[in-house]
Structure 1
Amino acid sequence: MPVNNGAGRRALLGAVCAAILLGGCADPQSPGGRRPEGKGGTVSPSPASPAPGASLPRPAEIPALGPATRARIEPTTEQALVVMGDGRDSDRSTAVLYERDPVRGWQAVSTPWPAHNALRGWTDHHRAGDLRSPIGVFGLRDAGGRLPDPGTRLPYDRTEEFNMPGTGFLGEPLEGSFDHVIAIDYNRTPGTTPLDKTRPLGLDKGGGVWVHVDHGGPTRACISLPRERMRQLLQALDPDKNPVIVMGDTVALAR
């Protein structure tokens, strides 16, 4: 029987189309089968985009601080001097200055500085004469000293009344310890000289707790830093950043 040429051509065309579809000729990397090319004819990768619903990284927190301690740092605070004691009854600490970046969160802006605290360590309930430093988060708003202002933005009261004669617990001379000081807002009236003796919580709760120049031994309640670090701290603190000191032993600050 003679072959119908028209029907044969239609059958052959259908077979070719089926083979094309089954072979997947469309480029799977490019919609519509067109492969995008970059320089030199290489494929340009598509820019990465976040997956739907993906969240941005959370701003960093200050290391080793627990939720209760963090909650005491006000949202308006952008500077924090963290003084972490070696132990509950230790007179040695490490201090690091942090600043809060609006995107990255808390970032260390100093190296770790050696520091001293009170002779008998730390307490949650400071009393006058207990020879322990108070644990907590306190403002840093007022400064002063026997020597001239080293360039701080805090109010600075210079007077010879910051003279400190005598010897410390290890027999070390105390002279020069108050050349530069920063008042810690524990049981005091902010906005006054560090020498102000007003005690809003009562005299039995102690007071006159400062950050001051280290004299090589433990303090009665204060925090002390090496002289050059003290100057750096004074120059770094900015009252517009509502600076605070976060101070205590490692276990207490982890709460």
Structure 2
Amino acid sequence: MAASIDCPRRPRHRAAARGGHRAAVPVRADGRVPLTAVLLLVLAALAGCGAGTGTRTPDAPVPTAQAGGPPGIADPAQGRAAAGTEARPPARLPGLGPRTLAWIPQNARQVLVVTGRDRDANRSEAVLYEHTGSGWEAGPAWPARNALRGWTDDHWAGDLRSPIGVYTLTDAGGLLPDPGTAMPYDRSDGFSVSGTGFEGEPLEGSFDYVVAIDYNRQPGTTPLDLTRPRGADRGGGIWLHVDHQGPTQGCVSLEKHHMRELLRALDPTRHPVVVMGDIDSLSE
């Protein structure tokens, strides 16, 4: 097991997704469908394939990304109306090309840039940029790891690649108590993990601190929520979490003390996002 709750690969069932699966419906001799059968069909349609434990929240509307845009950001200028004329950034951020910059919401005042060494590499670097009002200020460069096989702009569950794109950061949690973050924080034993990773390294403690990356998830819920608005086959459970000294299934990992620093720095009122991908993709 590698440190990610990215769902295991399942058949994509693309034809079934277009036409849907039709369940057998019992019909009485008089041709009428029993009311109980109708209710069961309605409940099944509402449940979909993203139900998890606990109370299920309704799926978020699936964003329609602009041409060439990443899943998860529907409008590259999102937040402009809410923030009024002051929603000017981002202007320039080191290493990011015009296409990537256009994906970043204009109300974002905190941008964590995770840059992979190349498309197939599982080593990367993370830098938190904060807008001071006059420009972007860079924090220290933190070593990071990503998925075993590198990066992809077409992520599927189990492909062992991290999704390229720009994603909001709205929710945090972990096995350990809140280290002092302003983000909603879910302290839960559900973040316990055991076993070994791809290189035989122990995974225990990997989820001591977690920030959910809003790829194919319902923002505003615990990172443990299993809702997958784009379908389970597109993966999920993509987190920032504690490095276990090996590549991940799809997440981005940082050293434990850097995860604590990140959690203490992130501020929901500054609309933090993560920009992640290999160096060549982010420079476009």
- TM-score class, shorter-chain normalisation, is 0.7 to 0.9
What is the distance in 2 between the residues matched to 1:164 and 1:117?
18
Q: Aligned in 2, Cα 1:138/1:60: closer, same or farther, shift over 3 Å? A: closer
| 1:102 pairs with 2:133 | yes
Between the two structures, name the one with larger relative contact order (CA 8 Å, sep ≥ 6): 2
Within-5 A mapping of 1:63-78: 63-78=94-109
Conservation of the 8 A alpha-carbon contact between 2:169 and 2:213: yes
Q: How many residue pairs end up in the alignment?
A: 196
CA positional deviation for 1:106: 1.6
3-state SS of 1:142 partner = strand
Conservation of the 8 A alpha-carbon contact between 1:62 and 1:107: no
What is the distance in 1 between the residues matched to 2:152 and 2:262?
25
| 1:126 pairs with 2:164 | no
Cross-structure match for 2:263: 234
Note the residue ranges of structure 1 that are not aligned, 5 or more in a row.
1-57
Cross-structure match for 1:158: 187
CA deviation map 1:23-71 (0-9, x unaligned): xxxxxxxxxxxxxxxxxxxxxxxxxxxxxxxxxxx99621010001001
RMSD: 1.2
What is the distance in 2 between the residues matched to 1:60 and 1:70?
8
* Aligned equivalent of 2:223, options 178, 186, 194: 194
Cross-structure match for 1:221: 250
3-state SS of 2:131 partner = strand
What is the distance in 2 between the residues matched to 1:61 and 1:159?
38
Conservation of the 8 A alpha-carbon contact between 1:60 and 1:107: no
* Aligned equivalent of 1:82, options 91, 101, 113: 113
Cross-structure match for 1:136: 165
What is the distance in 2 between the residues matched to 1:188 and 1:75?
22
Cross-structure match for 2:273: 244
Aligned-pair identity (%): 64
Q: TM-score, normalised by structure 1?
A: 0.76
CA positional deviation for 1:118: 0.1
Conservation of the 8 A alpha-carbon contact between 2:148 and 2:160: yes
Q: Aligned in 2, Cα 1:63/1:200: closer, same or farther, shift over 3 Å? A: same
What is the distance in 2 between the residues matched to 1:67 and 1:106?
16
What is the distance in 2 between the residues matched to 1:59 and 1:169?
37
Q: Aligned in 2, Cα 1:59/1:161: closer, same or farther, shift over 3 Å? A: closer
